[in-house]
Chain A
Amino acid sequence: MALLSRRLLPLCLRRGGPAAPRALSTAAAAPAPAFPSDGEEEDSITVKGVRISGRPLYMDMQATTPVDPRVLDAMLPFYLSRYGNPHSRTHLYGWESDAAVEAARARVASLVGADPREIFFTSGATECNNIAVKGVMRFYRDRRRHVITTQTEHKCVLDSCRYLQQEGFDVTYLPVRSDGLVDLAQLEDAIRPDTGLVSVMAVNNEIGVVQPLEEIGRICKEKGVPFHTDAAQALGKIPIDVNRMGIGLMSLSGHKIYGPKGVGALYLRRRPRIRVEPQMSGGGQERGIRSGTVPTPLVVGFGAACEIAAQEMDYDHRRVSALQQRLLDGIRAQVDEVVINGSMEHRYPGNLNLSFAYVEGESLLMGLKEVAVSSGSACTSASLEPSYVLRALGVEEDMAHTSIRFGMGRFTTEEEVDRAIELTVHQVKKLRDMSPLYEMAKAGIDLKSIEWSQH
């Protein structure tokens, strides 16, 4: 094309002004986008119509955790310089990446008392639960047709079980007691000769209750049934030993223990060997259990998080227990009629689920925008149903609407807890003043005796 000679090119370029380097909106160094605000105070943010000063206090550790800076340090080289695919067998990049993956595998294994050959990396605990439930049952589909699980399991386990039901398997959803623990006698009775899997989560994400894993493992071993546990919330927080607890399969998640999001690991026992049907077809990576390139940086981060957790578990546990006590005492000193959902003795201390009588959860959350917490209230879930976990505990519907979950962890400070107490108490008092139920209860009227006019 002789039309645009090299001479004329610069002119064309200059027409639109000097080509300024366009900053990517996703660049880390780019200034944070301005939220629509009235421009009153410099420091305040207006989100969802609510103005808050600065970022909220994070007290939702069960949803996810911040990445520990030490974990990030371990991950970065594998993004920037050692970025090989661990399955590349022919060059240094692949070899060093593979070595890093195997080192991380060993760290994950040692945190749970397993052999590294029993750990398989996946994209997260949801994928692990899918492989565990569907994979095991489909592999043994000729001889085993029955699954036992509880009503308080995570949605991915319950949904996988429902999927199996459509394929013709039988599923028993065990009820739990009012303190959230599973009844061991009921579990033993429910096991049939054709039971292929018992799945009970170690620590519940909503209420923080710790199930009696050793006893359940013992029962399953006696009956010869594989025991699967979703330990996403338990890893690195309570001591786990797959041999002492008789665990056959276990789901682990990276982003619940200050590791990166997008990675998890499945523990599959070798002796006696538990077989699963793979859910991902492909090149046969991870011994054929889970095909797909193993994401080295994420896996290295997961390994580093496990190593740190192994060293700091005791210290974290003591610290978080003290914080939980502080939170509970602080709230109870100023408001009455506060109910703790789930057992207090068998609990991971970083998860405190409270119900405030006569106050509705979504309105409380609306006033607690400076503290990031979550609720088991109907209004906050997409459907208008209150949390199924609280319902399984037998919590009355009106109390289920008022629950708030406070999640504390390694990076939570005492000042944050004190401020959370202050804000919560203030909002609860304000809403109770506005509540006709509180007024009636204080006047001595029995709320259960009223006939409500529903529409």
Chain B
Amino acid sequence: MMLRTAGRWLLGPASGVEAAPAAALAAAAARRGYHERVVDHYNNPRNVGSFDKDDADVGTGIVGAPACGDVMKLQIRVDEGSGRIVDARFKTSGCGSAIASSSVASEWVKGKQMEEVGELRTREIAKHLSLPPVKLHCSMLAEDAIKAAVKDYEAKKGKLVKADE
């Protein structure tokens, strides 16, 4: 009896009890849910669309496979003289994380030099979107799409140069 009253006195009014469930819920929601940025990119995707594939200054990268559920098409428009990517468009069929990853990728390549984007790390996109481990392959696919677009543009340029010669 004495110990119980002493305990009650020490704890004071029900301070700890109500706070705990709310805090636990908040923590749980943050642990389980989509990151805000993923939802944002899903609801307002940047740079959705297409360039004409046959344009000389457009590089197109298509990666993925319908069988595993993700297909990404990333197109870059490159300024011939400076080698800088001036615009990008993407189209993705995939889960929310895949859409967000390719949307982020399309934003980040804009204004960068072609050599720079080759060094884009997977971790950066994944970290920016707080992707859980099971979704890391989505950001890897986005990186592959960028590399494929760059390679396609260079191949086109190579062909044109050859044709001129």
Contact = CB atoms under 8 A, between A and B. Distances in A.
A437 B66 contact: yes
B100 to A, nearest CB: 10
A378 interface: yes
A434 B29 contact: no
Given A16-B8, A16-B13, A360-B69, A436 B33 contact: no
Contacts, number: 144
Interface in A1-38: 1, 4, 9, 12-13, 15-20, 22-23, 25, 33-36
A452 B64 contact: yes
Contact of B93 (A378, A436, A452): A436
B10 interface: yes
Contacts of B30: 36
- Chain B's interface size range is 35 or more
A33 B93 contact: no
B91 A434 contact: yes
A50 interface: yes
Interface stretch (A206-214, A300-308, A362-370): A362-370
Interface in A341-376: 358-363, 366-367
B6 A378 contact: no
Which of B12, B14, B71 is packed against the most chain A CB atoms within 10 Å? B71
A454 B144 CA distance: 10
B62 interface: yes
Nearest to B37: A49
Contacts of A367: 42
Given A16-B10, A20-B14, A437 B93 contact: yes
Interface in B93-111: 93-96, 98-99
B64 A12 contact: no
Given A35-B25, A452-B66, A454-B64, A17 B71 contact: no
A36 B93 contact: no
A49 B36 contact: yes
A143 to B, nearest CB: 45
B162 interface: no
Interface string A432-455: 011111110000000100001111
Nearest to B27: A36
Contact of A447 (B66, B91, B144): B66
Which of A13, A358, A401 is packed against the most chain B CB atoms within 10 Å? A401
B95 A48 contact: no
Interface in A124-148: none
Interface of B is mostly: helix
Interface in B15-39: 17-18, 20-22, 25-26, 29-30, 32-36, 38-39
Contacts of B2: 1, 4
Contact of B39 (A49, A436, A453): A49
A49 B5 contact: no
B25 A17 contact: no
B113 to A, nearest CB: 24
Contacts of A1: 2
A48 B5 contact: no
A452 B30 CA distance: 36
Given A17-B13, A378-B68, A453-B63, A435 B92 contact: yes
Nearest to B130: A49
B5 A9 contact: yes
Contacts of B14: 20, 22
Nearest to A23: B18
B70 interface: yes
A397 interface: yes
B73 A436 contact: yes
B45 interface: yes
A454 B12 contact: no
A439 B69 contact: no
A366 B69 contact: no
Given A12-B5, A363-B94, A437-B93, 14 more contacts: A12-B6, A16-B13, A33-B21, A49-B36, A49-B38, A359-B93, A361-B69, A362-B69, A363-B98, A378-B69, A433-B48, A434-B93, A439-B73, A453-B62
Query: Which 8 A-B residue pairings sit nearest by Cβ, starting from the closest?
Result: A48-B33, A398-B66, A436-B73, A362-B95, A452-B65, A435-B93, A436-B91, A49-B34
Interface of A: 1, 4, 9, 12-13, 15-20, 22-23, 25, 33-36, 47-50, 358-363, 366-367, 377-379, 384, 386, 397-398, 401, 431, 433-439, 447, 452-455
21 contacts: A12-B9, A16-B11, A36-B26, A48-B33, A49-B33, A49-B34, A49-B39, A361-B69, A362-B96, A363-B96, A366-B34, A378-B69, A379-B95, A398-B67, A401-B69, A435-B92, A435-B93, A436-B71, A436-B73, A437-B71, A452-B71
